[in-house]
Amino acid sequence: MHQLLTLELSPVSLNIDDESALHAGHAGAASGGGHYRIRMISERFDGLGKLGRHRLVYDCLREMMQKDIHALAMTLLTPAEAAASEA
């Protein structure tokens, strides 16, 4: 997942947390798909709304969705948004 996102979206920062253990016993977990939380900062998100940013990530991870990934929570920011949130 990290490699695909890095190659496609050239993030300034990328954190991926595997939260699968928190969902043990969940129907999606039984099928083998993991639960992940992503926080990514990328210039590729400039000019895109939330939906457009999510589409970029889903397109990048298309092959992993529904078999390796069951759930994906995302915080997707531009560098300017990340700097503003830290101030």
- Residue 54's closest CA among 38, 43, 69? 38
Pairing of strands 13-18, 34-41: antiparallel
d(CA 57, CA 6): 11
Tokens of 36: 């992940």
Mean pLDDT by 10 residues, the chain (87 residues): 96 94 59 84 97 96 86 96 89
Residue 73 has a pLDDT of 95
Residue 87 has a pLDDT of 73
Statement: 2-21+29-77 belongs to CATH 3.40.50.300: no
d(CA 75, CA 41): 8
pTM value is 0.85
